[in-house]
Structure 1
Amino acid sequence: MVSMKRLVPYSLKNRLTIMLIVATMFPLVLVGAISYASIYSVLENKAERGVRSNLHQVMLSLESTLDQLNHASQQLALDGRIGKSLDRYLKAAVYERKLLHDEIKNEISLVAFTNPSMGLAFYYFADSGKVMFENYSIEKDVDIRKLPVLSRFSTISYNGPHRSLNPWDGHQVFSIVRNVSLIDEKNVYVYIETSFKLAESLLSMDRSAADTAHLIVNDEGRILFSEDEKAFPSGSLYGSSEGSPNRYAGHYFFEETNEKQNWKLVGAIPRASYDSELRSWLLQFGVLTVLSLAVGILVAWILWRSVYEPLKRLSQDMRQVPYSKPSSSGKSISIMEFDHIHNGFESMRSRIEELLQEAEHREQRKARLEVEKLLHQINPHFLHNALDTIRWLARMRGQKEIDKLVSTLNKILHYNLDKGETAQIRDELEALHNYMSVQSVRYHFHYEIEFQAEESMLDWVIPRFILQPLVENALLHGLREDGRISVRIAAEGEDALIEVRDDGTGMTEEQLRKLKDPEADRGSSAGFGIGLNYVRKVVNLQFGDRAKLEIESKPDTGTVITLRLPIITGVEGDA
């Protein structure tokens, strides 16, 4: 596992520098992130609204132009006046045909004059390829059925953009082809295209970005017109990967759809151009970040000079402690807080000298206590050895009762003098059984003792030597001849319940009060409540408020002592 010293700089100077840089950069980065998100959203919405607004205006202009072409074509179709004149022209005699010819030419010129968006117009007879009543020059061998179709609606075909059929024009135009449906001629069409440079002027209305490339996509999803043939060649499918898989990379696309005819006007803007304002803001923010970082480093250096140098002097004074007298004083640093530290340090140095002297005297006293402890340890060993000697003498002389009594007493002493602070309940019950065997010999009267505990509870851990004082209290205070003591161990939630019940003479209210009060005077009754006081202090020391000792007693009824402890499984501290 990597130590913390490797992760955190050990030097105060380095830590101070890092903290100041972080303190300087964190707010800046946080504000920058929030500002970036906000400004990016603002700039994006601004650019998008501008592009969409201009694109919408272009779409409205194109729709208006195509509607005007459609209106003009209605006048030239059979349901219009000029169309009806054409139908009569085809059926008329030579003289009448001459009159109708001039009338139709004049009507077409009048329609073109009243409709400024209208350019070349003529009738086309598909079966013979014949062209009639053209108002401008027209290329030879034209076939209007091969024009790029923008969308179709019933007998009407909207075309373009495509090159004008007027050889003297040569610009991109939109056009409409409409079936005239004459009575005797079925494949007659009227062709009308937009006027000189109208398509280019409409597309150039979008000034949202200087390098916006306009695309016109027909209702089949194929590009009919492109201002950037390299990236979006005409004839390719819009949004497909034909030709180059990266053709559409690096552009933002905005679309306007003609709801009536289902074709699209698309504005394609390079990402570099679209994000130019954002890059400008990022550049300014980067300069601000560098300046803030430089200021943070400068402040770190100033603080280092103000804090690190005084600490360095203080460290030098501390290293001189083993070699200087307590009366020596540190140098003044001319900083109030560090001068206070130096004054406190000098007081501490004097106190350390006093503590060292006290420690020396304490060590001497400790050595004397160790000698006394060894003397006290000799006595239990001597007592064990003496009891063993008595037991073997009784066994050799056939004194079985004395042999058993001494052996039991030796076990009690060995258990009670053990150093462990805790023991399993089974060990406590065994020690209690030995204790009761000795007491039965001492008191010379018959009594019964009953143990109630499940096998799994015998492994619970409790403080050592607490069952014996509870049972001893029943023996010493009121147990009658043929009395009965019940020791019950049970579980209540997360607590172990130890209950010692007797049917003795019980206690008066005054006796019970003294027994419950650990500070009560017990001089008049030797040993009265001493064991219970021991139990109370032991469980309070190990468990605090989690342990509870309760005593209930009435005269001529008996006494119940209940001890509640947290359940602890396994052997702990029984060394």
Structure 2
Amino acid sequence: MALIKRFVPYSLKNRLTIMLIVTTMIPLALIGTISYASIYSVLENKAERGVRSNLHQVMLSLESTLDQLNHASQQLALDGRIGKNLDLYLKADIYEKKQLLDEIKNELSLVTFTNPSMGLAFYYFANSGKVMFENYSIEEGVDILDLPVLSKLGTISYNGPHRSLNPWDGHQVFSIVRNVNLADEENVYVYIETSFKLAESLLSMDQSVADTAHLIVDSEGRILFSEDEKLFPTGSLYASGERNQNGYAGHYFFEELNEKQNWRLVAAIPKASYDRELRSWLLQFAALTILSLAAGCLVAWILWRTVYEPLKKLSQDMRLVPYSKSQSNGRMASIMEFDRIHNSFESMRSRIEMLLLEAEQREQRKARLEVEKLMHQINPHFLYNALDTVRWLARMRGEKEIDKLVSSLNKILHYNLNKGETAQIRDELEALQNYMSVQSARYQFHYEIDFQAEESNLDWFIPRFILQPLVENALLHGLKDDGRIWVRIAAEGSDALIEVRDDGIGMTEEQLRKLRDTETDSAPSAAGFGIGLNYVRKVIALHFGDRAKLFIESEPDTGTIITLRLPIIREVKGDA
């Protein structure tokens, strides 16, 4: 930790500058590193998946097209209806030939219509070079057996791509040549090629990467078709194992094998085109990095002006506080948060000055109170000693009533002079009984007081001198002649209930309202009593706060019930 502090600037200005630079650069570095690794992998996989997916789709389309040609050739062979009609046509007389000719043409038109991938179709008699039942024009002197063979399965030959035999077409096509196997005629073949521009449209389906050159390689590894004759000439061997030679070095190659016919469709992609998307992303990221750095510098400067300058002014004001030379006026930052801090600082500074003044005044009052306390302590001790002397004189002269009265008064004075803020309930009750004895002798009236409490409850601690004011109110201001007072102490949950009840004259609602108003100074005089209750309220609020409650219930000519609810205290620390 000490080593870190050693290298961290102590100045907020320098820390803020370093933090802004670090918070700008670290995310860029992390994002750049992670993004490059991730995006490079994603783009690499994306490009490869795209090329292979498109290549696979092209292969499926080519296979589907060749399968359609094969299916159509089956209908034109001897196994099909048209092929059988052809066999009958060659054996029939002139009348039957006319009928079969129309039927063959109609059926051939139907097959052509139901196979949209089918273009030129005709029968070829190899021995004579004769052509029959062609559906389009044919170049003169064609030899379908001399076409580039893609693959050969039995008597079926798949050819292409090659130039269409239709002189009005001139586009690359795939074709199929199938032996019809007539009974009386040998070397009769049916020829079917793909429709107008179908082969080229199939190869152009692969648009995953620009500048892609498609190659079709036969089972012997010879290139039958090439979209880039300069680098991969038709008829040359496909150098699959020699990628570092000639044009192969600057290309990526992706192959799709036709397992049925053992030929391959190859996509040759220039490396520059293949990596073009990645380079484009790198250029974009570099531009974004430069813009982010520029934006970070701008934000750093704005933060510097926004944060540091108001803090600098606030720091200057704080340093001037001990000298009472604060110059806060006119230093508002015009920023809500800093203005709030400034206002709070001003309020705190004013409050500190007031507190210092109050502390000085309290110290002066405290010194005066110490002197007054010493004076008040001298007088009660003198009175206590004087009463003790009177008690012994009365006892020596046999004045038992005077002895008893002075003894009770002496105990009350001694109890009140004791230190500590709390006392056990048994001590409070004993002091209350002494007080009642003095009051009985003083006012010459008869009363009864009942104490209801379990023995264990008498060990609880309560604030000193809170029972006497409650009983005194009942005795002097509410009790009738020969009245009765009940004092009940019980537990309710974690609280102690202290109830003082009398059967005196009670109070009206107006008297109760004023007595319950703890904030009204006129309540005691208006109710006829309440000074003691006000004292009890303040004492329990001082000791227990909101946890203590005082309730007053009264009805005229019925009596009054005062209930205290206090937290139970079973022991106290230090001087009680």
Question: TM-score, normalization: structure 2?
Answer: 0.50
Question: TM-score, normalization: structure 1?
Answer: 0.50
Which structure would you say has the larger Rg?
2
